[in-house]
Structure 1
Amino acid sequence: MRDTLRGIVELARLGNCVAAGALTATGAFVAGAGDALLPTALAAVTTAFAVAAGNAINDYFDRDVDAVNRPDRPIPRGAVSPRGALATAAVWFAVAVAAAVSLPLLAVAIAAVNLVALVTYTSLFKGTPGLGNALVAYLVGSTFLFGGAAVGNPRAVLVLAALAGLSTFTREVIKDVEDVAGDREAGLTTLPIEVGRRRALWIGAAALVIAVAVSPLPYLSGTLGAAYLAVVAVADAVMLYATHESFADPAAAQRRFKYGTFLAAAAFVVGRIVVVA
């Protein structure tokens, strides 16, 4: 029983859930949430539980691949049955829907699209070269957009969403390079399997270059000040280094990308605080 409970918690990937909820709250804050604490909290809860459900479904469909790449995950090691993982995901999706229904219509629409995308990602799109990566990139970028929509100002976070999405696309390509052996055995046709590892990494690098080019826009438009620019420059440097590192060590590089993404989000928070002050 203890291992089952532990396995259920592991299905959610709590760190990812908390991080995704925090990114949604960041989007709301950057959009000028002000006193809109309840919509911000509901949006963060929706995101956290939707990510938990998506992770559980991902593990269900990936159980054969994980048996090769990550045998310590709950389903391959027998802590949670495949049917149990689906039931857990259904409960978490229900919580996400309940938290989202009172939000503004645009936020509800984004949540609905994202829930469908989470369900279909592994079952339909993960093995499609580039498309699965693009879908995950959209989902990450949309956490900020969802936060902005929850407080009625999605336009304020468009650049943040684009930066997060493009950098996530790069990180997902690097992860696919890392997982080539298991994906090939499972019959998936990911981008590095289709076009080769090195070419896939260059495609990912191109996406990151666009993200870096976009990142100064809030400063250049006068929306955010020099504090934002200083922090986002560090984030850009971290992600550019990770891209370079991916050609030699994709496992280390894709982990480093998380730091760059969080630094980019922090840049927007710092920039917003300075503007409000």
Structure 2
Amino acid sequence: MAVGETIRGLLELTRPGNVIAASVLTFIGAFVAGGVLDNHLEVAAAVAATGLAVGGGNAINDYFDREIDQINQPERAIPRGAVSPRGALAFSFALFGAAVVLAVTLPWAAIAIAVINLLALLAYTEFFKGLPGVGNALVAYLVGSTFLFGGAAVGEIGPAIVLAVLAATATLTREIIKDVEDIDGDRAEGLNTLPIAIGERRALVVAAGLLVIAVIASPLPYALDYFGVAYLVIVFPAALLMFYAAYESFEDPTASQTHLKYGMFLAALAFIIGRGALEIGGI
């Protein structure tokens, strides 16, 4: 196997898109807490630690999922032979190690969140992924906690809590829809995911219900004076897009996942602009 293909495979293991997204959420958590300018070194360490930990978590997930991926995702790095299972495992531990080195430079609250998240990442695929709803909820917590981690890095976790709950709820919806998409491979592997346990349609109803709750609660940061009117202007189309994704999931779970991800990214943009506009001009 060529070195270039191996390097490409290692990069794929990290899911660069997920790494970037999680790192951005950590930055948003710090930004919303109002501590970016005064704590730029802590913010940089938190953002980098998040990216490394997420990359390590994705790599170790692919290691444990290598047999399922032979069915669901044969083009991934391990099934196609770009990276060996042992190589993927070693790579994930190297990323985790680098994340720990950065995390221990942060305040105690951030370190506590980092330790909990690291244990959760290590345990997810091996112990929780196949339990109906439990693995989904764990992933949702991990996404939401990136906001908390960013806030804790600058010593102010309060404003990030609402954002963490909203992000976790939207992520839980997406994870359930993803399980519907992957139901054939999961059933062949003997996993007992939520769609397998209660049926695909009921699982999608649960996912849609959770998303409706998240969308209804989305004005809460404005009501709590964390963001200005600019937040509402941007979060409204994000809410519409996520509503459409929930409806679309009953016919096309794959397309629904994509649209839901776009909606979540747009909501994240609303957090940034909403806070920035409030600080600059009170808008």
The answer to whether structure 1 residue 51 and structure 2 residue 78 are counterparts is no
Percent identity (aligned)? 58
Give structure 1 regions of 4+ aligned residues with deviation exceeding 2 angstroms: none
Output one character per residue of 1:170-211: Cα deviation in whole Å (capped at 9) or x when no partner: 000000000000000011110000100000001111111121
Partner residue of 1:107? 110
Partner residue of 1:7? 9
Q: TM-score when scaled to structure 1? A: 0.98
Aligned with 1:77: secondary structure? coil
More displaced 10-residue stretch of structure 1: 43-52 or 152-161: 152-161
Give the one of 60, 65, 73 matched to 1:62. Answer: 65
Aligned with 2:78: secondary structure? helix
Partner residue of 2:90? 87
Partner residue of 2:22? 20
Partner residue of 1:271? 274
For residues 53 and 153 of structure 1, the distance between their equivalents in structure 2, rounded to whole angstroms, comes to: 27
The answer to whether structure 1 residue 244 and structure 2 residue 247 are counterparts is yes
Unaligned runs of 5+ in 1: none
For residues 128 and 203 of structure 2, the distance between their equivalents in structure 1, rounded to whole angstroms, comes to: 17
Give the one of 189, 193, 197 matched to 2:192. Answer: 189
Mapping 1:126-205, distance limit 5 Å = 126-205=129-208
Whether the 8 Å contact between 1:159 and 1:215 is mirrored in structure 2 is no
Instruction: Please give the root-mean-square deviation of Cα atoms over the aligned residues, in Å.
Output: 0.9
| Aligned-residue offset at 1:83 | 0.8
| Aligned-residue offset at 1:256 | 1.2
Give the one of 117, 120, 125 matched to 1:122. Answer: 125
For residues 65 and 25 of structure 2, the distance between their equivalents in structure 1, rounded to whole angstroms, comes to: 26
Q: TM-score when scaled to structure 2? A: 0.96
Unaligned runs of 5+ in 2: none
| Aligned-residue offset at 1:270 | 1.0
For residues 172 and 42 of structure 2, the distance between their equivalents in structure 1, rounded to whole angstroms, comes to: 28
Counterpart of 2:26, as a letter, is: T
For residues 218 and 21 of structure 1, the distance between their equivalents in structure 2, rounded to whole angstroms, comes to: 21
| Aligned-residue offset at 1:19 | 1.5
Whether the 8 Å contact between 2:32 and 2:226 is mirrored in structure 1 is no
Give the number of equivalent residue pairs. Answer: 277
